[in-house]
Structure 1
C-alpha cells in the first residue's frame, strides 16, 4: 500500500512540474510578444510621423 501512495505522490509531483513548466514557457512567450508589440508600436509611430511630414510637405507645395 505504501508503494501505491508513493507512486501516486510521484505522479502528482510530475503533473505539478509539468504545469509549472508550461506556465514558465507561457510567461516567456508573453514577454516576447510584449517586446514584439512594443517594437511594432514604435515602428508604427515612426511611420505615422513620416507620413504626416510628407502630407504636410505636399500641403505646402499645393497651397
Structure 2
C-alpha cells in the first residue's frame, strides 16, 4: 500500500468517524427535545392539578 493509499484510507476513516458523531449528536438532540416536551407536559398537568379547587 502506497503512502497515498494510506492517506486516503485515513481520510476515509476520519470522515466515517465524523459522520458517526454527527448522527449520534442528532440522535441525542432529538432525545433531549422529546424529554423537554414530556417534562413540559408533565409540569403543565401538575400545574393544572394544583390550580383545581380542593373539595
2:5 to 17, 23, 28: 17
Give structure 1 stretches of 5+ with no counterpart. 1-12
2:43 & 2:19 partners in 1: Cα distance?
Answer: 36
Moved over 6 A (4+): none
1:51 to 11, 34, 39: 39
Greater helix fraction, Structure 1 or Structure 2 = 1
Give structure 2 stretches of 5+ with no counterpart. none
Structure number with larger C-alpha Rg: 1
Q: Residue 37 in 1 paired to residue 25 in 2?
A: yes
Aligned residues: 51
Q: Given the two structures, how large is their TM-score scaled by the length of structure 1?
A: 0.73
